[in-house]
Amino acid sequence: MHLLIRLSLRNLFRQKRRNILLGSAMAFGIMILVIANSFSHGISDIMFNKILRYAMGQVTINFSEKGRLMRTVCRDKERIMATLKDEKGVLLQAEESIGMFMRGIGNGKSDNVILVGVNTSQNISKEHRKELEESFRMVEGSWEDLRNAPVENPVIISA
C-alpha cells in the first residue's frame, strides 16, 4: 500500500504541467455545466411562473357543447362564476376568455399560435399591468390600443 501511494505521488509531481492542464479543463467543463443548468432553471421559472400563469392561469375550465371540441360555449356562465368566486382562500382572480388554435402566416414564415381574446373593460391593478408589460414585450403599441375605437379588430402581437 505504501508503495502505491509513493508511486502515485511521484507520477503526479513529475507530470505537473499535464496535471494542471487536466485539472483546468475539468474545472472549465464543470463551469460550463453549472452555467447551462442555471440558464435552464431560470427559463423554466419564467415560463411557469410568469408566462403560463398569465396565458392559461393555474386552472382552466373548458366547455364543449354537444361534444364538439371546437364549439366552446358556456351556457351557464353566471352560475359557474358565482361558484368560483365563493371559494375561500383559493381563488385570487377569475377571468373568462376565448382562445383558438390556428396557423399564423406572414413574411414568408408560419407557426402554430393560440389567438386569445382579451376583455379590456376589466379593471386591473397597476402591479398586474406592470407584470403583464414585463412578461409580454410589445412589438408595437400598448395595451391601451385595444380600446382604440376607430380600429375595427385590434390585435396585440407580443414577441
Residues 6+ apart with CB under 8 A from 119: 95, 96, 97
pLDDT greater at residue 25 or residue 13: 25
**How far is the CA of 131 from the CAs of 46, 50, 117, 125, 154, in angstroms?**
12, 8, 19, 10, 22
Burial category of 100 from C-beta neighbours within 10 Å (exposed 0-12, middle 13-18, buried 19 and up): exposed
Residue 111: band (very low, low, confident or very high) from pLDDT cuts 50, 70, 90: confident
Percent of the chain with pLDDT over 90: 13
Integer Cα distance of 26 and 104 in angstroms? 46
Each domain of the chain, given as residue ranges in start order, spans: 2-55
CB 58 within 8 A of CB 48: no
Helices (H), 47-93: 52-55, 77-85
What confidence tens digit (pLDDT) does each residue in 25-62 have?
Answer: 999 999 999 999 999 988 888 777 777 766 666 666 77
Q: Where are the beta strands (DSSP E) in the chain?
A: 99-106, 109-116
Residues 6+ apart with CB under 8 A from 98: 72, 116, 117
Percent of the chain with pLDDT over 70: 66
Integer Cα distance of 143 and 156 in angstroms? 8
